Amino acid sequence: MIPSQMISSLVDERQIRRDEATVEVNSKWGDNKYVVGPILVLPYKKIVNATDKKNIVEVVERAYFLPKSLNIDGELKPQILARGIYSIINYNGDLKFDGEYSQPDLEGLGISPASVIWKDAFVFAYIPDPKGLKEDIAFNWDSHKAKMDPGASIAMNLGEDIPMEKEITYIGDNSQKTYNGVGVKVALDPAGAKDRNYKYSFNLNLNGSSELNFIPLGDTTNVKVRSDWQTPSFDGAFLPSEREVNDKGFSANWKILNFNRNFPSSWKEGASLNFFEPKFGVKLMMPVDEYQKTSRSIKYSILLISLTFLIFFFVEVIEKRRIHPIQYTLVGLALLLFFTLLLAISEHLSFNLAYLIASLATIAMITLYSKTIFKNLKLTLLQAGILAMIYAFIFTIIQLQDYSLLMGSLGLFIILAVVMYISRKIDWYGGEESEKGD
């Protein structure tokens, strides 16, 4: 059991190396896991320290407004990239955004329309890893079209863990962060009525890493995502209202209302919002995680070792054959080599094929060695059959997800019952009766 723990550490080490390779590939491909936007930013003048009419200090602050409706239609094209022996799943996403903005409600924020700098109004979108952008972003605002440019920023606390520290610039008392992204100036009607709406649309073509999440910024947010990837995992605060997964890929639709989130539709600079708590989206899962399955296999090493040693012990007791501790040790080491073989082969072949090769090699080696110990073909074949059943039992448990505990518990109960039945008539004291108490 001590070497089995060392092998378990080896599995963890290999998994860490795989994760490091994943981070390295993502840093070059594009590590976008979500897109935040669009957000309408409206600068306005604010008077502070006005002790008298001759000493007036004006500062420029910002008000932020979310769209009335946000519609996203996206297609994810998966890409399998390789770094050494490791395969990393990434994607290229083609996302289409459109919707409407209402006339900014300045009265609700206590802002005078006369203090607003209308010419500097702009729309902002936060993209965690801008180098993943593959095309220019053409932004349509009503009948006007302009290109979104890098260098735009907003200062607030969105409440999420930024994956790369270089994207954060702390300001003031460290309660606010500067989020860098893309932006474009837009034309607003200062005298627009409350029912005035502005239509917008833009496309994003970007590279991302394994998952894509969305933030329900609109009063009504509709998201449609499709891909030819067959093993998606829908995650986050909201599950799709409609989904379809088959051998051709998947499609999913979400509809989120502003009542379902925990932040308002407009706010002033200085507010701290938890934008990322209601995020939702999809992960492109690899069909097989060989490290997770190998780790689960090692957890059953005590079962494998104990039952094999128990067979040898029964041969000693029932058949009156002496088996040396060194022989027990060699068989135990052979059982442990199964896990290292499984780990090494599964990095190059499918896990199921690796399990078959490693188990057959181990069974063959132990069977041939047992033949020299038992000197009995029937006992040797019995040993091989029991080993094969143990490996098949462990493989079945590994493949199950929801029922692994149930099947494992029932299997162990049956095995223990069989062992108790076989050992019920064994004379453990060699014919001697205990005279304790006489």
Are 256 and 310 found together in one domain?
Answer: no
- Contacts of residue 322, defined as CB under 8 A and 6 or more positions apart, other chains included, come to 316
Note down the domain range covering 340: 290-422
Interval 7-33 mean pLDDT? 74
Are 232 and 100 found together in one domain?
Answer: yes
Q: Which band of pLDDT confidence, cut at 50, 70 and 90, is reported for residue 310?
A: confident
Q: Tell me: pLDDT of 298 over 90.
A: no
Task: Let me know the angle formed at the C-alpha of 269 by 278 and 48, rounded to the nearest 5 degrees.
Answer: 160
18 in a structural domain: no
- For the chain, the first-to-last Cα distance in angstroms comes to 42
Are 276 and 311 found together in one domain?
Answer: no
Please report the pLDDT score of residue 159 as a whole number: 56
- Per residue in 154-192, pLDDT (tens digit) is 776 655 544 433 343 333 344 567 777 888 999 988 887
**pTM exceeding the 0.75 threshold for the entire prediction:** no
413 in a structural domain: yes
Burial class (CB in 10 A: 0-12, 13-18, 19+), 416: exposed
Count CB atoms within 10 A of the CB of residue 349.
Answer: 14
Are 114 and 262 found together in one domain?
Answer: yes
Are 228 and 327 found together in one domain?
Answer: no
Q: What is the mean pLDDT of the chain?
A: 81
Boundary of a domain, candidates 284, 308, 338: 284
Please report the pLDDT score of residue 163 as a whole number: 41
Residue 30, φ and ψ in degrees, nearest 5? 135, 125
Contact 28, 190 (CB under 8 A): no
Are 392 and 267 found together in one domain?
Answer: no
Contact 66, 266 (CB under 8 A): yes
- Per residue in 213-234, pLDDT (tens digit) is 898 999 999 999 999 988 888 9
Are 206 and 336 found together in one domain?
Answer: no
- Per residue in 97-145, pLDDT (tens digit) is 999 999 998 888 888 888 889 998 999 988 888 778 888 889 999 888 8
Higher-confidence residue of 53 and 434: namely 53
Alpha carbon 47 to its chain centroid, in Å, reads 47
Q: How far apart are CA 390 and CA 218, in angstroms?
A: 55
User: CA nearest 98: which of 187, 37, 10?
Assistant: 37
Please report the pLDDT score of residue 431 as a whole number: 58
Are 300 and 382 found together in one domain?
Answer: yes
- Per residue in 95-107, pLDDT (tens digit) is 999 999 999 988 8
Are 105 and 217 found together in one domain?
Answer: yes
Please report the pLDDT score of residue 201 as a whole number: 93
Higher-confidence residue of 122 and 312: namely 122
432 in a structural domain: no
Are 38 and 88 found together in one domain?
Answer: yes
Interval 246-254 mean pLDDT? 92
Place of tokens 């706010």: 267
Return the minimum-mean-pLDDT range out of 9-13, 193-197, 379-383. 9-13
Return the beta strands (E) in 53-136 as ranges: 55-65, 69-83, 86-102, 122-126
Q: Tell me: pLDDT of 269 over 90.
A: no
Count CB atoms within 10 A of the CB of residue 273.
Answer: 16
- Contacts of residue 212, defined as CB under 8 A and 6 or more positions apart, other chains included, come to 32, 33, 34, 35, 74, 76, 91, 93, 225, 281, 282
What is the gyration radius of the CA atoms in the chain, in angstroms? 32
Total count of domains within the chain: 2
